[in-house]
Amino acid sequence: MKRISLILLTAACLTHAQAAEKIRIVATTTDLADIARAVAGDAAEVSSITTGREDPHTLTAKPSFIVRARDADVWIRVGMELEVGWEPVILRESRNTRIRVGAPHHIDASLNVQRLEVPTQRVTRDLGDVHPEGNPHYWLDPLNGRMIAATLAERLAALYPERKAGFEKNLHAFERDLDTRMFGAALVGQCGGEALWHAAIEKRLDAFLKERGASDKAGGWYAALRPHQGKTIVTYHRSWPYLAERFGLKADVQLEPKPGIPPSAKHLAEVVEDVRARQSRVILQEPFYNTKAAEFVASKTGARVVIAPTMTGGSPEASSYLGMLDNVIAKLSVSL
Ligand SMILES: [Zn+2]
């Protein structure tokens, strides 16, 4: 009896000690938090500022966010000015100098991602909410999800070298999961995830698979959207170009006349013309935008309004980053 209680006591102490040692990670968005959880595993307690159900451009800083930033060991942001309206005030008011921009405990997840729409002309207000470093919605390209995970593993290992092996093991598990969902288990088994991504980056994946006699082995997201290559999806905001680019779709028609500017009657008349000319079948938008404009265009053209989250937690099915991509791609593949 005594022996058992001693063992229980020791176990309780250990659990307590381990819990106290957890790295407190605060990520601005749910996607970064989910990827951070995958990479850090048991070593960290991860939370996010956004819930995935709100527009990440227009969040208001709340006192509770400042408290969390104050207590954070590590801060992770999307960067590229996505959080420009609310991150500066949270970081400043937190007075936590470890996580201020440029400090080692402040991780900008955009560090190694492939960027789209980096402006070549000077950015002025009349262009709308254009981000001078490029389109910040980069996590919708699964390759960038992989890049984010690698950046987090590397930066966390630099900060906590005693946990490096664990972060690397977790990173590889995440990469395997992502690659399998992207290309299917058979293709990853035959070619390896790295080689498939290299071919995809060089925009010669279809040719690569033909060379290997593996075209019919393709599965996952890639196979689900391959029959739809070249089609146009109309979107509310310019949040989808990364997904479109990765899967050979076009997402250059928006209901917003300029980023952050609500749809106008004049602009929607042009969209209707575009939808007819391109025979687009899908108007895609996040759950937090009003559907009136999309329904108007749908009523004039017969296109379907598809509501899908761009962020983890944006709908009940999107309970993880990879689950969110599963959800979006499944909806698109049946609607396109
Ligand atoms: Zn945006």
328 alpha-carbon distance from chain centroid: 12
The CA-based diameter of the chain, rounded to the nearest angstrom, is 81
3-state percent breakdown (helix, strand, coil) of the chain, nearest 5: 55, 10, 35
Phi, psi of 108 (to 5 degrees): -95, 110
Cα 167 to Cα 21, 106, 139, 143, 317, distances in angstroms:
16, 18, 20, 19, 27
Strand order in the sheet with 232-235: 250-254, 232-235, 282-285, 304-307
Reading the chain (336 residues) residue by residue, the pLDDT tens digits are 455 555 555 555 555 554 458 999 999 999 999 999 999 999 999 999 999 999 999 999 999 999 999 999 999 999 999 999 999 999 999 999 999 999 999 999 999 999 999 988 776 767 777 778 999 999 999 999 999 999 999 999 999 999 999 999 999 999 999 999 999 999 999 999 999 999 999 999 999 999 999 999 999 999 999 999 999 999 999 999 999 999 999 999 999 999 999 999 999 999 999 999 999 999 999 999 999 999 999 999 999 999 999 999 999 999 999 999 999 999 999 999
Do 319 and 290 form a contact (C-beta atoms < 8 A)?
no
Between the CA of 324 and the centroid of ligand 1 the distance, in Å, is 18
Between the CA of 110 and the centroid of ligand 1 the distance, in Å, is 15
Do 75 and 26 form a contact (C-beta atoms < 8 A)?
yes
Alpha-carbon gap, residue 122 to 292, rounded angstroms: 33
Between the CA of 57 and the centroid of ligand 1 the distance, in Å, is 7
Is residue 105 within a helix (H) or strand (E), and if so which, with residue range? Answer: none
Between the CA of 55 and the centroid of ligand 1 the distance, in Å, is 9
Q: Taking CA 91 as the corner, what is the angle to CA 90 and CA 96, rounded to the nearest 5 degrees?
A: 125
pLDDT (tens digit per residue) in 263-283? 999 999 999 999 999 999 999
In sequence order, the 6+-apart residues with CB closer than 8 A to the CB of 9 are none
Between the CA of 59 and the centroid of ligand 1 the distance, in Å, is 13
